[in-house]
Amino acid sequence: MNQPHATGSSGHTRPADLAALMQQVERGDKQAFSALYDALAPMVFGIVVKVVRDRAQSEEVAQEVMIDLWRQAARYRPEAGSVTTWASTIAHRRAVDRVRSAQAAADREQAQAAREHHTAFDEVSEEVETRLASEQVRRCLRGLTELQRQAVTLAYYGGLTYREVAQTLRTPLPTIKTRMRDGLIRLRDCMGVTT
């Protein structure tokens, strides 16, 4: 049986030993993976934390990298570089992906907040305009004679036809039409409406 973890005199796993461990990991050797994990996890975490800059997220990303090493062991090619180089590359890519993902999420939240703020401002603006217009209409209505105001109010706020206004006020239809015409002209002039 191969020994899963061989170290040099300095206590660090030698590149040749890491390559041998990687071959064992490729065959599903959990003990070899444990030794590989011990040898590479501190380096992987160091790379990730430099990019991500948040310890909790860096720990998550480092765990994801180590899982990738287990799952992708068959993709490792010694002729392409050392195990540490391969692990470093995966760690850096994962860390950059996490930063980009976090930035994209922050951008989406900021855009949503801006839309909500803009919508709220528009609603307030519309409400203010409506109140101002309503106040102007009330002020202009007060400038009409009592008879004109009655006829206009019944027609426009009560939804009555000219004939129904005439019946309600017990006034001849031509008189109601004249009051309405004169009242609407005064309202138009007061409101500053041009035709």
Q: What is the pLDDT of residues 143-193, one digit of tens each?
A: 889 988 888 888 888 888 889 989 999 999 999 999 989 988 888 888 887
Tokens of 18: 């890491």
Nearest to 137 by CA among 115, 152, 126, 121: 152
What are the φ/ψ torsions at residue 13 (nearest 5 degrees)? Answer: -75, 135
What are the φ/ψ torsions at residue 7 (nearest 5 degrees)? Answer: -120, 155
**Contact in structure between 98 and 57 (CB atoms under 8 Å):** yes
Give me the sign of the Cα torsion angle 41, 46, 52, 57: positive
Q: Is 172 left (phi over 0), alpha (psi -120 to 50) or beta?
A: beta
Q: How far apart are CA 156 and CA 51, in angstroms?
A: 67
Q: How far apart are CA 157 and CA 146, in angstroms?
A: 15
Please give the DSSP secondary-structure letter assigned to residue 144: S
| CB-based burial, 21-50: b 16+ in 10 Å, e otherwise | bbbbbbeebeebbebbbebbbeebbebbbe
Q: What is the pLDDT of residue 67?
A: 94
Q: How far from the centroid of its chain's Cα atoms is residue 54's Cα?
A: 22
Return the bridge partners of 7, or none.
13
The pLDDT averaged over each successive group of 10 residues in the chain (195 residues) is 41 78 94 95 95 92 95 92 93 93 87 70 70 80 88 84 91 92 88 72
Q: What is the pLDDT of residue 38?
A: 95
Cα Rg, the chain, nearest whole Å: 40
Q: What is the pLDDT of residue 55?
A: 93
Q: What is the pLDDT of residue 121?
A: 61
Question: Residues of the chain with pLDDT > 70: what percent?
Answer: 88
Q: How far apart are CA 67 and CA 138, in angstroms?
A: 73
Those residues with Cβ within 8 angstroms of residue 65's Cβ, 6 or more apart along the chain or in another chain: 44, 48, 87, 90, 91, 94
Q: What is the pLDDT of residue 141?
A: 84
